[in-house]
A and B are shown apart, each in its own frame.
Chain A
């Protein structure tokens, strides 16, 4: 099963202590300074929409988003352009890109005391319902790949993967680890 358009979201640790309006400035600077690889295009401000995409950095290959879906702030990486390679390659690319963006965001929020991301939880889903309709069958096929991937990346299997079972949601899971992960090591 080919799994494209992988999304990874790292959650903000605790309550969001930074005013979301700051993310607008930060994302504009990322464009000016070519902070992320790929083509960065524009910034979209959706802070007025409850539990929405918050502030979005639109790119050609991918978007970066300080996202508040389900009421939890976090940085979400949305891979838009398809990638060659294996599913593992695509998981790795999304995970690494999201982690890199979190580190950068933390650095850019230094003036506001920094922005820490939870080191024991993340979300990964496939933003494509054709490749990955959210069914039990899909999850049965995806879960082993994800487990193997995270075991390799984290260096242990002390984690749980909770499938997002709502059939209307995108196929994905929330990972929670018993041992904190180190963001730089995920990049």
Chain B
């Protein structure tokens, strides 16, 4: 006999359609409240989801489409998971429907939310809080690129999430995939005593300029820019980015000029590369056109087939920096002037945040040990006298909705209304008057955000690892949690030199935890012992955080995960015993040599307990399942290689689909106009294969299409000849016409036939093996 709760469960069947029943309500509520461009983008994605649901978009294309909107996969989204005893199939309601190659539709995913240069306001914090509660697991996670991530999000909810974020000026567009990722920036920009100048407006300009830029849509891999206010600190980590801008000034004829030491081709990943100097003084007026030129060069010449060699660093390595520069400068010369290059930088030199409270001297330490440590470890004076920055350390980058709301209140009360995330997975509150520090501390403490020691050894950076990432090999967060637990007990009795060490943990070799630039880094690997898989971490030494990621560490030895705490103790003890006065850890590690340090740790690699004697050894931190790498899947970090042509044609098809929906809803005029737009999109897709610089001007598209494909008869169908192609010319000729229901219907039919003709042309050309891309 079924109990009440079982009866209740069966009586209430899962409804069809969206996971969250309020999707339509939110769409109506936010109608007209979103910035037009963001709103249109989200509407387009919503249509693409529907088309994929109907099987009308190819798996691979949809995967890259959603990645470029920040909708990422998570571990087990191939539909199976090892539960500790066996691999079980996860029987999702929508069965075998997929949202990408080997990625089940219903499987929870992750939404990555871009926060350019980490800059946020209180309204955004509050919306994030709401979203973490309603769509995720109740936690918002700060990443090592100043973004936020929400985990366990259903794909069907992502559109509403995007709308609610857009309503407060946040986009998820190009947070993932083969695109320009978040532009990071020094969180102390504008207030740092050591900066050359405030890079905030420049980071904002680059972010805005490259977002959705046509020249940045044809990459074979991701692309990461960053800004730093100075050369000596870590903040921007320019050396490990594709584009790194470090603020510098020079004086010419008695006048100070701003510029950037501009580096290119850096990156971590499995094998890190230091960026190289492209220009030691890049004029800000050239910042955007050079970035555009680099995007074009990378799009044209970057590797696309071999995903592991597709980052820009490999192109530079292949060509050498000189040739790369030459190509970029040539591309720069060919660019038509874009008013955005200068418009986006208007006011940059004058921009300045204005405090809302009067300055004040820092209050003296009081009797509270916690407060005094917080003052010492988390507070820095700004260059504006009487103001201070406050670092808010988040354990493993995680924050609750209630904390986010509390933080929003604090930001409103004490600051001009902005806060920054950091690549150490924390927050920086700026413009805090010294006189307000005690009150601010009390309010932070009330919401458990006043932990001292931001940036010290306790403040371990870890990527999501095996918790949620398909590529995770060992539990980076589990290890980080354990190390924190042990270090908490003794952190403040440790030698200061040890207390200030940076520890970073990645779940695998891809370095999302940035282990290469840690003092002591770890990345997850698997090893076999006694016939069983055992989680291990490689110990990485020699990295340098300062000087914008000044040096990359190298792996020394792989140690079982459960012995890493012991390994850390030995390394730090050895450092304290053997270091020279004032010697930094990376210098020390270089001096004593890795062989010496390895000797210290060698015995930790062997003498594993028998499986039956200590099963704990054979599972990872805080995961009772017997360790296995069976759940390691194919990551989506590399995205899918989808050509510009494929993307454009997907867009064209979507436009026809949207036109049909408009016709159904009675908006015949817009429905008819969609027909022409779809045809122009498809025509441009074909033209662009042979002429890169085609614009969106309809006259130009039609003229180029006619010359290249109609007059040459390339578009001619064996049976219908040029008939379908003429639909474009007729529609273009009649632009601006007033549609009736019938004529709109016809136009949509014609546009679909035109799209088919374009597909046919493309396919014939591929089959003939002719050159698809010929320069003009």
Contact = CB atoms under 8 A, between A and B. Distances in A.
A128 B20 contact: yes
Contacts of B60: none
A37 B138 contact: no
B334 interface: no
Nearest to B29: A130
A31 B398 CA distance: 25
Given A38-B9, A60-B106, A127 B400 contact: no
Nearest to A4: B21
B11 A25 contact: no
A48 B484 contact: yes
Interface stretch (B180-188, B493-501, B620-628): B620-628
Contacts of A70: 402
A157 interface: no
Contact of A60 (B13, B26, B92): B92
Contact of B4 (A24, A53, A85, A96): A96
Interface stretch (B83-91, B251-259, B339-347): B83-91
Nearest to B621: A45
Contact of B5 (A24, A47, A97): A97
B448 A129 contact: no
B134 A58 contact: no
Contact of A170 (B26, B76, B106, B133): B133
Nearest to A58: B152
Contacts of B22: 4, 128, 130-131
Interface residues of B, number: 59
A45 B21 contact: no
Given A51-B400, A52-B138, A96-B5, A131 B21 contact: yes
Interface in A1-41: 2, 4-5, 21, 24-25, 28, 31-32, 37-39, 41
A96 B8 contact: yes
A25 B624 contact: yes
Contacts of A83: 12-15
Given A48-B395, A52-B400, A93 B85 contact: no
Contact of B481 (A41, A48, A58, A67): A48
A81 interface: yes
A58 B135 CA distance: 12
Interface in A74-113: 80-85, 89-90, 92-93, 96-97, 99-100
A61 B92 CA distance: 10
Interface in B150-187: 151-152, 154
B9 A93 contact: yes
A44 interface: yes
Contact of B623 (A2, A24, A97, A187): A24
Given A53-B138, A81-B19, A187-B5, A46 B11 contact: no
B137 to A, nearest CB: 6
A97 B9 contact: yes
A56 interface: yes
A178 B745 CA distance: 67
Contacts of B9: 37-38, 93, 96-97
Contacts of B222: none
A140 interface: no
A52 B398 contact: yes
A65 B138 CA distance: 10
Contacts of A128: 20-22, 134
A80 B91 CA distance: 16
B430 to A, nearest CB: 24
Contacts of A46: 137-139, 398
B674 to A, nearest CB: 29
Given A48-B481, A49-B400, A83-B13, A41 B108 contact: yes
Given A37-B6, A52-B398, A187-B3, A45 B481 contact: yes
A58 B77 CA distance: 13
Contacts of A89: 8, 11-12
A123 interface: no
B138 A82 contact: no
Nearest to A92: B8
Given A44-B152, A89-B11, A49 B398 contact: yes
A96 B14 CA distance: 17
A52 B448 CA distance: 11
Nearest to B132: A53
Given A44-B152, A52-B139, A84 B20 contact: no
Contacts of A52: 138-139, 398, 400
A3 B134 CA distance: 14
Most buried by B among A2, A48, A84: A48
Given A84-B12, A89-B12, A39 B90 contact: yes
Most buried by A among B8, B90, B400: B8
Contact of A82 (B19, B92, B398): B19
B395 A49 contact: yes
B730 interface: no
B303 interface: no
A111 to B, nearest CB: 14
A53 B137 CA distance: 8
B561 to A, nearest CB: 15
A131 B75 CA distance: 31
B622 A5 contact: no
A42 interface: yes
A99 B5 contact: yes
B14 A187 contact: no
A121 interface: no
A53 B139 contact: yes
B311 interface: no
B126 interface: yes
Contacts of B19: 80-82
Contacts of A63: 137, 152
B594 interface: no
Contacts of B400: 49-53, 69
Interface string B484-498: 100000000000000
B484 A100 contact: no
Given A21-B622, A65-B138, A60 B398 contact: no
B155 to A, nearest CB: 13
Most buried by B among A85, A89, A93: A93
B535 to A, nearest CB: 15
B685 interface: no
Nearest to B394: A49
B644 to A, nearest CB: 36
B398 A129 contact: no
Contacts of B484: 48
Nearest to B129: A168
Contact of A58 (B6, B108, B622): B108
A67 B133 CA distance: 13
Interface of B: 3-6, 8-9, 11-15, 18-22, 25-26, 29, 75-76, 81, 83-85, 90-93, 106, 108, 126, 129-130, 133-134, 137-139, 151-152, 154, 395-396, 398-400, 402, 405, 448, 467, 477-478, 481, 484, 622-625
Interface of A: 2, 4-5, 21, 24-25, 28, 31-32, 37-39, 41-42, 44-53, 56, 58, 60-61, 63, 65, 67, 69-70, 80-85, 89-90, 92-93, 96-97, 99-100, 127-131, 168, 170, 186-187
Given A41-B90, A69-B400, 20 more contacts: A2-B21, A4-B21, A5-B134, A21-B622, A28-B623, A32-B84, A32-B85, A38-B9, A39-B92, A45-B622, A51-B402, A53-B400, A80-B20, A82-B20, A84-B12, A96-B9, A100-B3, A129-B130, A130-B22, A187-B5
Closest 7 CB pairs of A and B: A96-B5, A130-B22, A50-B448, A82-B21, A83-B12, A130-B25, A53-B138
